[in-house]
């Protein structure tokens, strides 16, 4: 039988975690994904009492995709979950943070996943090299299922086209480059990635 989302929440709270992936810690708020009453309320429609976990999380993903507009440049790295809720637009990072806030607001563990997605050119067009950009999605945990990956930006479960580079509690855990440079002059990083099927 399908496990209700409340049963997942209680199992995570009650059972010691033997897994080194530490699902319980991924239920906690972070600086980029604080507890948000707005996100909790937004998600409540998907989390009816007794609803199966997978069904509820999948519907939440569908709703984020339908209710929010993908708009590059509409947000920054520091845009809050509440701002995204208000603006109803953003990019994959924003939609992942929103979904994390929704899930964690209901006591469910979820983590931020960063990587790449194999993109297919339109029919009759050649594959362009260097155009694939990093992508963000969410992995949610239930003892019965393990970690299941949801992509609210593209409204689909992650499959073999998704290439995970890293995961963490939020974007701050997975930034591609972090450090300090001593010296003068401006710095610019330019990255091109091509995801090609093997």
pLDDT at 20: 46
Q: Decide if 78 contacts 97 (C-beta within 8 A).
A: no
Is residue 197 assigned to a domain? no
- 184 inside domain: no
Give the domain extent around 147. 5-119+127-173
Type and span of the H or E element at 40: helix 37-44
Residue 30: inside a domain, yes or no? yes
Model confidence at 46, pLDDT cuts 50, 70, 90, reads very high
Question: Per-residue pLDDT tens for 119-173?
Answer: 777 888 877 565 678 899 999 999 889 999 999 999 999 999 899 999 999 999 9
Output the domain CATH number for residue 67. 3.10.620.30
For 154, other C-beta atoms within 10 Å of its C-beta total: 18
In a domain, 42, yes or no: yes
In a domain, 194, yes or no: no
Cα 59 from Cα 44, distance rounded (Å): 11
pTM of the model: 0.88
pLDDT band at 2 (very low <50, low <70, confident <90, very high): confident
- Pairing status of strand 110-117 against strand 89-90: unpaired
Regarding beta strands 69-70 and 89-90, do their DSSP bridges make them parallel or antiparallel, or are they unpaired?
A: parallel
State whether the Cα torsion 179-183-184-190 is positive or negative: negative
Domain count, the chain: 1
d(CA 183, CA 189): 16
User: Does 185 reside within a domain?
Assistant: no
If DSSP states are collapsed to H, E and C, what string results for 85-148?
A: HHHCEECHHHHHHHHHHHHHHCCCCEEEEEEEECCCCCCCCCCCCCCECCEEEEEEEECCCEEE
**Per the domain annotation, does 183 fall within a domain?**
no
Q: Decide if 154 is inside a domain.
A: yes
């Amino acid at each position: 039988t399908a496990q209700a989302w409340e049963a997942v929440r209680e199992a995570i709270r009650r059972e010691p975690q033997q897994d080194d992936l530490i699902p319980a810690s991924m239920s906690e708020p972070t600086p980029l994904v604080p507890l948000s009453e707005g996100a909790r309320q937004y998600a409540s429609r998907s989390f009816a009492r007794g609803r199966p976990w997978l069904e509820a999380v999948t519907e939440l993903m569908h709703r984020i995709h339908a209710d929010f507009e993908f708009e590059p440049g509409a947000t920054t790295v520091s845009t809050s979950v509440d701002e995204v809720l208000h603006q109803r637009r953003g990019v994959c990072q924003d939609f992942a943070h929103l979904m994390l806030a929704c899930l964690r607001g209901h006591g469910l563990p979820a983590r931020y996943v960063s990587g790449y997605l194999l993109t297919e050119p339109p029919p009759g067009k050649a594959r362009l090299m260097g155009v694939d950009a990093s992508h963000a999605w969410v992995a949610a945990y239930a003892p019965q299922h393990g970690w299941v990956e949801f992509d609210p930006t593209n409204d689909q479960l992650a499959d073999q086209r998704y290439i995970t580079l890293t995961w963490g509690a939020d974007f701050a855990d997975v930034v591609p480059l972090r450090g300090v440079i001593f010296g003068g002059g401006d710095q610019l990083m330019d990255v091109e990635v091509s995801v090609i099927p093997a």
